[in-house]
Amino acid sequence: MATDIKDSVHAVEAAAVMGLLPARPRLLALGEPTHGEDTLLDVRNELFRQFVEQEGYRTIAIESDCLRGLVVDDYVTSGTGTLDEVMEHGFSHGFGASAANRELVRWMRAYNDGRPASEQLRFAGFDGPLEITHAASPRQALTALHGYLSTWVDADLLPCTGDTLDRLLGADDRWTNPAAMMDPAQSVGQSAEAGQLRLLADDLVALLDTRIPHLITATSRDDVDRARLYGRTATGLLRYHHWMADTSPARMTRLCALRDLMMAHHLLALAARRPALAHAQNSHLQRAKSTMQMWQGPVEWWSAGALVSDRLGEGYAFVATALGTIRHQGVDTPPPDTVEGVLYTLPEDRCVIDAPRLASTLGDTVPAPRVSPWFGYAPLAPAHLADIDGLLFVRDVPQS
């Protein structure tokens, strides 16, 4: 068995990953089983550098706030701001504190320096402006979209004034109230004002779409893309807030699904412009159904990866990451009857695995699911192997 498995093992190189795929995908996604480990992000950085330099990928997108990501993109393309400012303001979920993320941004800026815009690398966050504790106010996205349209479109075509939006939005802390995540009654998402804002956001997006030929000429493709991002984010946030106020048992299932739907819409928009690389938790990128245990019980939904894969077909590829140990979090040597345990017997510290071939080699010997002693790490589901294009295995993750 060990000899057979070695036939599935390759070096951690972009060329090895591409060799597992039928063609170069428009969107190549690399997942991780846990957040916050710079060892995994260092491997990501090196792989993504190779995909850029050898395979022509020109966008790097990570699981971070899409609006904050604009700050990073402005820096890597034009040097706006300082690296310290960008790391502080350009990331959500605490990702700006990562030394590996800092190195990624520094490298992207250095890569772009002196290159024409058409050859530059672009950065994007593809998560909504969402945290576990709350969702952002739709103010930034809505007012930015309205401001862009009011500059370039006749005033009588606008569905409302900026003052109307401001009045309906009210104070931002009404929207970001952390109590609303646990108590639907605390959410403003189904208030009369929120209902009006959903209609106005829809009208603003429709107005944008009807004026695209004029706007691309009057401004630029980048400006239009940014306005579309504001539109997707405004409508997605208002939809998310609406269902935060829901009292049915399906509430958390719907919220998880809506978050990944926002991610999928952002990823599809990025891939439509230029070949893109994406990085996020495995569960957001996999083709199989995602599951999570939450305070009110188990939740299941289709991930962004599943939604994007349906749209792009072979234009989407997913490489999952699995690991052996994170000893500083109590994740010790994996049991030998798990996928991670089988891979842990290999001599390589890091390798790329042909996942479908590994599934075929294992045959009817279905590995046991690994149980994580730490909530922050999600082991690989053995049943998912056949739906993964490649598997990056990192034997040991030392403390950063």
Residue where one domain finishes, among candidates 249, 281, 311: 249
What helix, strand, coil percent values describe the chain, rounded to 5? 55, 15, 30
Same domain, 124 and 269: yes
Query: Do the beta carbons of residue 335 and residue 45 sit within 8 Å?
Result: no
Same domain, 315 and 368: yes
1 falls within a domain: no
343 falls within a domain: yes
Same domain, 123 and 266: yes
Same domain, 218 and 300: no
Q: Which helix (H) or strand (E) holds 76?
A: helix 69-78
Same domain, 295 and 393: yes
Residue where one domain finishes, among candidates 188, 219, 249: 249
255 falls within a domain: no
Pull the structure tokens for residue 290. 């995602």
Output phi, psi for 293, to 5 deg.
-90, 120
Amino acid occupying residue 73 = D
323 falls within a domain: yes
Same domain, 200 and 342: no
Strands (E) located in 160-315: 276-281, 290-294, 297-301
- Please tell me the predicted confidence (pLDDT) of residue 209: 98
Q: What is the pLDDT of residues 354-394, one digit of tens each?
A: 999 999 998 888 899 999 999 999 999 999 999 999 999 99
Same domain, 183 and 289: no
Domain count, the chain: 2
254 falls within a domain: no
- Going by the DSSP 8-state scheme, the letter that residue 161 receives in this structure is -
**Nearest to 207, CA basis, from 254, 145, 261, 163:** 145
Spatial distance between the Cα atoms of 239 and 241, rounded to a whole number of angstroms? 6
Cα distances (Å, whole numbers) of residue 240 to 188, 190, 198, 206, 391: 11, 10, 11, 20, 33
Pull the structure tokens for residue 325. 């140990």
Spatial distance between the Cα atoms of 124 and 106, rounded to a whole number of angstroms? 15
- Please tell me the predicted confidence (pLDDT) of residue 293: 82
Spatial distance between the Cα atoms of 47 and 274, rounded to a whole number of angstroms? 18
256 falls within a domain: no
Residue where one domain finishes, among candidates 196, 215, 249: 249
Find how far residue 167's CA is from the centre of its chain.
32
Spatial distance between the Cα atoms of 190 and 120, rounded to a whole number of angstroms? 42
Torsion 380-31-9-100 (CA) sign: negative
- Please tell me the predicted confidence (pLDDT) of residue 337: 96
- Please tell me the predicted confidence (pLDDT) of residue 363: 86
Q: Are strands 9-10 and 350-353 parallel, antiparallel or unpaired?
A: antiparallel
Q: What is the CATH number of the domain that holds 51?
A: 3.40.50
109 falls within a domain: yes
Same domain, 227 and 122: no
Tell me the residue range of the domain where 282 lies.
6-132+261-397
Same domain, 119 and 266: yes
What string of pLDDT tens digits covers the 400 residues of the chain? 445 788 899 999 999 999 999 999 999 999 999 999 999 999 999 999 999 999 999 999 999 999 999 999 999 999 999 999 999 999 999 999 999 999 999 999 999 999 999 999 999 999 999 988 899 999 999 999 999 999 999 999 999 999 999 999 999 999 999 999 999 999 999 999 999 999 999 999 999 999 999 999 999 999 999 999 999 999 999 999 999 999 999 999 999 999 999 999 999 999 999 999 999 999 999 999 999 888 778 899 999 999 999 999 999 999 999 999 999 999 999 999 999 999 999 999 999 999 999 999 988 888 999 999 999 999 999 999 999 999 999 999 999 8
